[in-house]
Amino acid sequence: MENFYLILVVILFALAISDLVVGVSNDAVNFLNSAIGSKAAPKWVVFTLAALGVLIGATFSTGMMEVARKGVFHPNMFVFSEIMVLFLAVMITDVILLDTFNSLGLPTSTTVSLVFELLGSAVAVSLVKIKTLGGTFSDLAHYVNTGKALAIITGILVSIIIAFSFGTLIQYLVRVIFTFRYKKKLRYLGSLFGGVAITMITYFILIKGVDGSSFASFPIGKGEIPLSDWIATHTGVLLMGSLLGWTGIIQLLYWFFRIDILKVVVLAGTFALAMAFAGNDLVNFIGVPMAGFASFKAWLASGGAAPGEFNMQMLHGEVETPFLFLLIAGLVMIFTLITSKKAHAVVETGVNLSRQSEGAERFGSSAIARAVVRSSVRLNKRVKSRLPERVNSFIMNRFVPVEAIDDPSAPAFDKLRAAVNLMVASSLIAFGTSLKLPLSTTYVTFMVAMGTSLADRAWGRESAVYRVSGVFAVVGGWFMTAIVAFTVSALIAWTISAGGMPVIIGLITLAIVLVVRTHISFRRKSRKAGEDEELISEGDEAGKRIEKCSSQVVKTIISSNKIFSFALDSFLKEDVSHMREAMEMNNQLNAKTKKQKNKIIQTISKMKRVDVDAGYFFIQVIDYQREIAHSLHFLVDPLREHLENQHKPFTESQSQEIRQMVTEIDEFFNLAIHIVKEEKFESIDDLVTHRLRIMETLYEIEKDQVKRIKNKEVNTRNSLLFFKALTETKNMLLHTVNLIKSYRDFILVNQKSL
């Protein structure tokens, strides 16, 4: 029996390592966005500081471990065998849940996941025990710590509102003081701003955060007063000393070395937020395994008590987490932070979401977002109408943005906003940690960033509805995370209670399979991201544009030919699975052309003025690629729907005509690829002639179809689908010829500039 529970403890720690890797990859964006988005320093500097903050913050997490032990349930109501089932269900659910949400690209929070997994698992195990003892549902209140659970849930929800409000208010005040042209004012107020910012960080991270950490009991002075008590006694002196000290240091550094004050604040804030993240979120990954390990040691020390009788009252007491475990967890987090491609990739999404400039929006609009924006616009107009004109003019002048720089490597937002992001977010998270409330790092940092974006008027009339939709999507994701975490954890805990070891082995196997599948899926996404890099972007020189455009057009033609042939062949063979593959290929082509179309304005605006003609032809190239993708969609989708609904296939004569058409179009596409690859633009006339021959063939096929209709050989559905396929084929051929011509003009203009 001892070996059985030892295996469970090992499984808990193995799942914890997996959780650390997946969770850090997810959450690294929270403390890297501001520094990378503002380009405050090279990435290696940012990652080094973040890694150092994570390592130190990991050692501050001991107090937060109480959440896993007794945060949402009363451990004295459970015995050792039940508590191990509870903890195991939580960890299996966490790995599966994070894996699933990552695969779907849905926003999630490791903190929200942990709290609701503990709640769901505790409820399930409690209900099983209540049923065994012959109790009633009302007895559940004796097992689940509803008061603490409600406080945690409320804390997370309130933190979202507070983070957005504080982010908006503080950024608004800072921008009114410094404006977007802040460099001159920083000469006089920069050291004070930096001193206040770093003092706030020092107060919340070092003064508040030390309480409950592994260093809290460190003796100070002759009386060997615990460090936490000494800090509480001297808080005022420490705050004043910190403010004066940091202000003086920053001012001296500016006088003698002309340092960038905001860069210092941003880097200090990155360190602080990474530290707050590790201090607050480490419990999400190792809190449950540590509680399981402590339970296992207590059971062993009991001298052979039966697992089903040994009460877990000991979890109510103070259980110190060994420093070695915290250090190992911190090192795993650092290794993941530096090596995880996913952690590096997700940063871009967060940066784009809070950028100051225009661009393609990640989220679409929604009815509720439109209503909120509409109401906000009306409220803004009313407020402005009641303020004196002089006040309105003053405020407007404070928010005039700096003219955008035509440089693709320019920061997404300035360092002033980055400093506020980090200062507010790290303060709120560290303060929540000091209260032992597991705030959602993801949503605090997200909402602060959204609040500062709103205050900076990055949410203009052109983007506000999409940004508001994004906020609602994230909050909606939070509720989804909570519901799914509770339900799945409860289901797994109940299943383990009923099935024992075979069920545990099956669930562990499932978790492993899902993690492996996630890695495979991420590799595919990485390859897709690599393909997106081949799209023409801002700042590309003429030679690079030619190279990228050629590759892009060739791939579009090859994909179009493959989709067209594959779809029609699958339809004629009544192969539904291959038809779905053709539809998926078309969706990918559609997504790629749409993405390039969305980037077209930024790309054109970044081209040099002498490239006006190149810009014009580039727009045509993108438009015709998009039209080809549309034609294929309107061809493939009706075929798929017809096939899946099990309608009658084409007749034998129709099938022969379609096969003949596919053969001729294959030849047409092969010639088009040859023209693009070899730049044989003199052969475009041959391509046009080939298209006309195919058009004559299609004309004959249409006449034959009319005869079939007259002879009542086919029904209405068949005829509509057949004519639809022929019409979209004509459109596809026409757009392909126009694509080749536009590509030729684009290449010739760029070659002249070379």
Q: Residue 593 is part of a domain; what is its CATH number?
A: 1.20.58.220
For residue 724, the one-letter residue type is K
Of the listed ranges 65-79, 518-532, 564-578, 629-643, the least confidently predicted one is 518-532
pLDDT of residue 633: 93
pLDDT at 406: 45
pLDDT band at 30 (very low <50, low <70, confident <90, very high): low
Query: 571 with 438, same domain?
Result: no
497 versus 655: the higher-pLDDT residue is 655
Which tokens belong to 636?
């493939």
Q: Please, are residues 8 and 505 in contact by the beta-carbon 8 Å criterion?
A: no
CB 539 within 8 A of CB 408: yes
Residues written for the chain = 754
pLDDT at 365 over 80: no
Q: Are 556 and 457 in the same domain?
A: no
Residue-level pLDDT at 342:
57
User: Taking residues 229-234, what's their average pLDDT?
Assistant: 78
- Do 465 and 562 fall within a single domain? no
Spatial separation of the C-alpha atoms in residues 596 and 613, rounded to whole Å: 19
pLDDT of residue 364: 63
* Residue 246 forms part of a structural domain: yes
Rounded (10°) angle between helices 2-37 and 501-532: 20
C-beta separation of 57 from 274 below 8 A? yes
Binning pLDDT at 50, 70 and 90, where does residue 701 land?
A: very high
Q: Are 238 and 231 in contact (CB under 8 A)?
A: yes
Residue 409 lies in a domain: yes
Choice among 19-23, 376-380, 635-639 with the minimum mean pLDDT: 19-23
Q: Same domain for 435 and 548?
A: no
* pLDDT exceeds cutoff 70 at 349: no
CA distance 384 to 391: 9
Indicate whether 77 pLDDT > 70. Answer: yes
Name the token pair of 250. Answer: 């920053």
Q: Residue 677 pLDDT more than 70?
A: yes
* Threshold 0.85, pTM exceeds: no
Q: What does the pLDDT read at residue 126?
A: 87
Q: Which residue has the higher pLDDT, 118 or 601?
A: 118
Residue 35 within any structural domain of the chain: yes
Closest Cα partner for 350 from 46, 22, 112, 34? 34
Cβ-proximal residues to 600 (8 Å cutoff; 6+ apart), any chain: 618, 619, 622
CA distance 704 to 658: 12
Coarse DSSP helix, strand, coil percentages of the chain, rounded to the nearest 5 percent:
80, 0, 20
**Residue 80 resides in a domain:** yes
Q: Are residues 492 and 539 in the same domain?
A: no
Same domain, yes or no: 578 and 710: yes
| Residue 440 and residue 561 in one domain | no
Say whether pLDDT at 609 is over 60. Answer: no
Reduce the DSSP state of residue 355 to 3 states and report it: coil
HSE, CB side, 13 Å, CA atoms: give it for residue 339: 8
Q: State residue 207's pLDDT score.
A: 62
Residue 611 lies in a domain: yes
pLDDT digits (tens, 9 = 90+) for 273-332: 777 777 666 666 777 788 788 888 888 887 767 877 888 777 766 656 667 777 777 787
**What DSSP letter does each residue of 94-152 carry, written as one string?**
HHHHHHHHHHHT----HHHHHHHHHHHHHHHHHHHHHHHHT--GGGHHHHB-HHHHHHH
Give the containing element (helix H, strand E) for 392: helix 389-398
Measure the CA–CA gap between 113 and 98, rounded to whole angstroms. Answer: 8
pLDDT at 288: 78
* The predicted structure's pLDDT at residue 628: 93
**Average confidence (pLDDT) over 359-386:** 75
Whether 608 and 467 share a structural domain: no
pLDDT digit string (tens) for 119-167? 888 888 888 888 888 878 878 878 887 776 677 677 777 888 888 888 8
The Cβ-side half-sphere exposure at 707, using a 13 Å CA radius, reads 8
* Domain closes at, from 469, 497, 525: 497
Q: End-to-end distance of the chain based on CA atoms, in angstroms?
A: 78
Q: Is 521 domain-assigned?
A: no
Same domain assignment for residues 330 and 436:
yes
Residue 634 pLDDT level (bands cut at 50, 70, 90): very high
Answer for the pair 535, 599: CB distance below 8 angstroms, yes or no. Answer: yes
Domain C-terminal end among 481, 497, 513: 497
Residues 436 and 575 in one domain: no
pLDDT tops 90 at residue 639:
yes
Task: Check residue 730 and give its pLDDT.
Answer: 94
User: Domain tally for the chain?
Assistant: 2
Q: Count the Cβ atoms, other than its own, within 10 Å of residue 651.
A: 14
Nearest 5°: phi and psi at 73? Answer: -150, 165
Q: Is residue 575 part of a domain?
A: yes
Q: Among 442, 469, 497, which residue terminates a domain?
A: 497
- Domain that residue 361 falls in: 2-497
- Over the stretch 399-436, which tens digit does the pLDDT of each residue have? 887 765 444 456 667 788 888 888 888 777 767 766 66
The one-letter code for the residue type at 734 is L
- Assess whether 644 and 568 both reside in one domain: yes
Alpha-carbon dihedral 56, 62, 67, 70, rounded to 10 degrees: 170
Looking at the fold, whether 474 and 542 belong to one and the same domain comes out as no
Q: 25-39, 576-590, 647-661: which range is least confident on average?
A: 25-39
Indicate the pLDDT class of residue 359, thresholds 50, 70 and 90: low
Radius of gyration for the chain, computed over Cα atoms and rounded to the nearest angstrom = 31
| Beta bridge pairs of residue 220 | 225
What sign has the CA pseudo-torsion 84, 87, 93, 94?
Answer: negative
The whole-number pLDDT of residue 462 equals 64
**Does residue 514 fall inside a structural domain?**
no
